Structure 1
Amino acid sequence: MMDRRIVLWDIDHTLIDTRGVGRELSAQAFEQVTGVPMLKQAKIDGITESVIFRETARLHGLHTDRHDFERFASALTKAHLARAAELRERGHALPGAAAALNALSAIPGVVQTVLTGNVRMVAEIKLQVFGLDRHIRWDIGAFGEDDDVRAELVRIALGRATSVFGEPVAPGNATLIGDTPADVEAALENGVPVIAVASGRSSADDLRDAGAVRILPSLGNTDSVVTMVQEATTSQVERRALGSGRDHDA
């Protein structure tokens, strides 16, 4: 049985807050690619970048294709690189984010990556800017260019981890940590334990209504984060043991 646990971190409003810089950079890239000022933006919470771009374009009466999105992703990456200092100055890592990452990295068998609607290069820049990238395994993460559907990103991340580690990574060997109902639903759809953090626009009640059982107000209490990750591991081991027992009894 695999003793490795994959922790899948959401980024925006879970680990960091760009405090409006992200939207400005999206608007800059959108106008560069489409030639149209971004007067409004589609819903972004829990949505992948490819969908945000497509739906934002529709709000402006535009039809886009994959090539347009790839151009947008490239422009967005360049904008983040060019304004990284401004992002660092105006945005911030959320309270407890660095401590949580450090604490989980010290637990034998825990491997941390990201599961995010951001495109990979933007995700890397965001975490590098705030010094949160040191414990992240980028090669087993899943990103906004990988699929439109967040639940599919969970499957992609598990598949990449399976390929990298050379042994099956079952849903019970992962834990997703995110701040939106979409994070909760994506995890539960795949049988992955989830820790919901009410540090974004969604309240604890919103997260509970989506199906979350383990809910934190923030990452501020490092011990609580570690305990919940360990509890998720234990509950999955116990569930497998109970299942094996039933099979044996049968």
Structure 2
Amino acid sequence: MTGLVLWDVDHALIDTRGVGRELSASAFLQTTGQRMRQQARIDGITEPVIFRETAKLHGLTTDRADFERFARALTAAHLEGAAELRERGHALPGAAAALNELADAGVRQTVVSGNIRAVAQLKLQVFGLDTPILWELGAYGEDHDVRAELVRLSMERAHTTADAAVLIGDTPADIEGAHANGVRAIAVATGRSDEAVLRDAGAEVVLPDLRDTELLVKLVHNGI
């Protein structure tokens, strides 16, 4: 039986509908003094890597101190933009029910996300999805550049083993990060990767979305 669920955030539980990119652009301008003309690939990528690679696209070389300034600016931007995020973005169908049903079943849930923790918390709070999450067990963008390391850190913080955990995400990078640690993956085709891509990436189960709460809970309980 699965004792820990590791959730991705963007396109797995929520969709910011472009607000996230706008807030990142605001933080990028504040940090670097340059407007963000383009952004590096973001799907499945951690925030420090996105910032570093985006800066390179603008001819900039950055260090950890620059990222930390960016992280503070990004957090402030999300706090200021919370109302717009709530208005334009949305929780994905079935997300609230899935989180609540798993919590009622006694399954521990946390977040493994490329987002920095403060932003991940705010995003889920805005859409009323934060309560079931055990934030101290999660791992976030400021913890490591590599997603597989985030999965490892989260299991370490939760004092759990790979056979007692399952990751739920929407990208091949989520699946890769899970499998690098021996963790099973449930993929949801609610992001830019369709079911075929997620299946080819090796997910144990691929779902079209989170609407079938009963099935999801059964998969988690049975360890897939």
Band of TM-score, shorter chain: over 0.9
1:126 corresponds to: 123
Structure-2 change in CA distance of 1:231 and 1:4 (3 Å):
closer
2:186 corresponds to: 195
Give the drift of 1:213.
Answer: 2.2
Query: For residue 42 of structure 2, what is the amino acid of its counterpart?
Result: I
1:1-250 to structure 2, matched below 5 A, reads 5-108=3-106, 110-162=107-159, 169-232=160-223
Which string of whole-angstrom CA distances, capped at 9 and with x for unpartnered residues, describes residues 130-173 of structure 1? 000010000000001100000000000011112xxxxxx11111
**Partner Cα distance (1:57, 1:150) in 2:** 20
- Structure label with greater radius of gyration: 1
Is the 8 Å Cα contact of residues 2 and 221 (structure 2) preserved in structure 1?
no
| TM-score, with length taken from structure 2 | 0.98
Length, aligned pairs only: 224
Aligned sequence identity (%):
65
**Partner Cα distance (2:148, 2:222) in 1:** 23
**Partner Cα distance (2:207, 2:221) in 1:** 15
Q: Counterpart of 2:149 in 1: which secondary structure?
A: helix
Is the 8 Å Cα contact of residues 8 and 170 (structure 2) preserved in structure 1?
yes
| TM-score, with length taken from structure 1 | 0.88
**Partner Cα distance (1:178, 1:36) in 2:** 32
Q: Counterpart of 2:186 in 1: which secondary structure?
A: strand
Which string of whole-angstrom CA distances, capped at 9 and with x for unpartnered residues, describes residues 5-47 of structure 1? 1100000000000000000000000010000100000000000
Give the drift of 1:101.
Answer: 0.3
**Partner Cα distance (2:110, 2:165) in 1:** 10
Query: For residue 51 of structure 1, what is the amino acid of its counterpart?
Result: V
Q: Counterpart of 2:222 in 1: which secondary structure?
A: helix
RMSD of aligned residue pairs (Cα, Å): 1.0
Give the drift of 1:231.
Answer: 2.5
Task: Please identify runs of 4+ aligned residues in structure 1 that moved more than 3 A.
Answer: none
Q: Counterpart of 1:194 in 2: which secondary structure?
A: strand
Is the 8 Å Cα contact of residues 184 and 204 (structure 2) preserved in structure 1?
no
**Partner Cα distance (2:32, 2:26) in 1:** 10
Is the 8 Å Cα contact of residues 7 and 113 (structure 2) preserved in structure 1?
yes
Give the drift of 1:4.
Answer: 6.7
**Which of the two has greater helix per residue?**
1
Give the drift of 1:119.
Answer: 0.1
The gaps in structure 2 that reach 5 residues or longer are none
